[in-house]
Structure 1
Amino acid sequence: MYAIIATGGKQYKVAEGDVIKVERLGAGAGETVTFDQVLAVNNGELQIGCPTVAGATVTATVEKEGKGKKVIVYKYKRKTG
């Protein structure tokens, strides 16, 4: 059984026991989060929503919060004259 959820502007294929990295949940470690934008559910038979599956939710527990790797940006100004 798996589901396809949409959160943070991205789509994720999740199954029971999966660990995924999601951006900007706004929940602390140990809290439970419910995703209600379920695009598709497969439990023997595929159900595709239009745009979401009615009555389907995915519940997850936040393990930890973190930041991504720091990005260094170089700006270049060409010489004039």
Structure 2
Amino acid sequence: MKALIKSGNSQVWVEEGQEILLDSPKVDEVLAILDDGQISIRKATIQIKDLGIKKGPKVRTVKYKAKSRYTKTTGFRPVFHRVLIEKIDLREKKS
């Protein structure tokens, strides 16, 4: 069974026991469920476990102005959360 989840601005297909990298350690909503080749759009909950933080590759940007010998280099490393998908539950949580 697979589930399409939305976390932040990204959408990811996940399975139980899968480890993925997300921008935030929470799942906003479950968009669809793929079960036995049939896609259904129904309420479901996903249990996740945050395994920690991992830094992504360094991203460099360069500003350059011709004929003035001006260059400026900046960069950063994005931070991702390692998340383990523990369980996909098809029953809706009761409040």
Q: Structure 2: any 5+ residue segments left out of the alignment?
A: 69-95
1:76 aligns with 2:64: yes
Aligned to 2:31: 39
* Runs of 4+ with deviation above 6 angstroms: none
Give RMSD over aligned pairs: 1.9
Shift in Å, 1:78: 1.6
Higher relative contact order (CA 8 A, sep 6+): 2
Q: Structure 1: any 5+ residue segments left out of the alignment?
A: 26-32
Identical-residue share of aligned pairs (%): 36
TM-score (norm 1): 0.68
Aligned residues: 67
Contact 2:7–2:24 at 8 Å: present in 1 too?
no
